[in-house]
Chain A
């Protein structure tokens, strides 16, 4: 992804801004402008609380390009308390520490760097709930 794509999605990546459907009340993440529940337009922004639970998880040992420095790391499907299922890295967690049902919260972290000279890409990750 290039700089324009990162810039376009920074609201959702920095602070979990999705959408709420004005017709059926479903909360959408990522934002997609059409409600998957009732197929009606859904443009109203909605900021998620960032709290959720690990639905499933896996450890990455062979990372795609740009993510090598974080290996080994845990990716998870996180069930947000408002409903949507989000794929994200877990952070501040040791290998083997994650479990299904683990309460987690969103933090904004560095996702990767576009080389030594390029942009730094920030976005959401989840960590075990601090408090």
Chain B
């Protein structure tokens, strides 16, 4: 897909909370150390953090890089499966906090781990049609796994914000995008339920790999590219093994996905997962680099984007903290403190 007017990223921003729960802690409590650990550790939000506060900080970082007045933003969109309210948008809180109100759209998007790239697709459409000059697309989550469930090792927290605008002002512009969606019951949560269910046999092959590979391959075919045409690639990362296998099947090397592969250090940040991988890549990108971004969301679907980095990336990279600055800011906690911070402890 391509819009009428070419669109790019004017500013981007990352946020990862400070606390880390080592996977060995989950293993210690639930399997007495007998289970393997899919990642090293995951990022845990502090007791005063949620999807709105994490989105605000990522959005402020995106604005620092963009250097535009926030009153010119015409859409503030937050993609998340963990908004602070069931009814009341997180996006209005974010829009108010960054000073984008009142002449703006604001809404929350929902599509499991691809809610953020769904917002990005819509922002490309809005800016690309000329309906607005600037739109903010955010992916943010404070993901929860049921205590003892396999997801508890990886369900992390983070956010990434992208301020989209005309290609002429961009630090990286979109060549094209491609989306691939079917009704697949791999992962879901009913209203009023605290924790999600996963349809285990659907998780890998018929869900993640089918949709992510189809979207990536579809985009490559449409553009006439192969893996060799890209400097870097980032795939949705629920664990370390899935994106590594997807990369291999598409012909990408370990080096090409290394910079954006953050899951072992911060966990699966859901709607922020692939988008945070992209902020890490942009932090180090060079003008002319071509980057592939492919999300995956349960339910299920994938969005794929091809981006070309421009000369402006160099002056904007250091205008806000790098993704790695947040990852390096690390305070390890044990399972007990994790239970307290994530309000898993019920007092009777």
Contact = CB atoms under 8 A, between A and B. Distances in A.
Interface residues of B, number: 22
Contacts of B46: 91-92, 109
Given A15-B99, A110-B50, A122 B93 contact: yes
Interface in B312-348: 321, 325-326, 329, 331
A7 B325 CA distance: 34
Most buried by A among B50, B97, B329: B97
Interface string B41-54: 00000111110110
A107 interface: yes
A94 B49 CA distance: 16
A39 interface: no
Contact of A92 (B18, B84, B97, B99): B18
B57 interface: yes
Given A110-B53, A131-B321, A15 B97 contact: yes
Interface string B83-100: 011000000010011110
A91 B98 contact: no
A125 interface: yes
B52 A122 contact: yes
B99 A108 contact: no
A122 B329 contact: no
Contacts of B96: 10-11, 14
B278 interface: no
A122 B52 CA distance: 9
B99 A110 contact: no
A120 to B, nearest CB: 6
Contacts of B93: 14, 122
A120 B97 contact: no
Contacts of B52: 110, 120, 122
A111 B329 contact: no
Contacts of A111: 48
A89 B46 CA distance: 14
A93 to B, nearest CB: 9
B48 A130 contact: no
Contact of A110 (B49, B97, B321): B49
Interface in B46-70: 46-50, 52-53, 56-57
Contact of B53 (A10, A69, A109, A130): A109
Contact of B329 (A69, A94, A109, A130): A130
A102 B18 CA distance: 18
A70 interface: yes
B56 to A, nearest CB: 5
A47 interface: yes
Contacts of B84: 110, 120
The 8 tightest CB contacts between A and B, nearest first, are: A109-B48, A14-B97, A110-B48, A131-B321, A108-B56, A92-B18, A108-B97, A109-B53
14 contacts: A14-B56, A14-B96, A70-B48, A91-B46, A107-B57, A108-B53, A109-B48, A109-B53, A110-B53, A120-B50, A120-B84, A122-B93, A122-B97, A131-B325
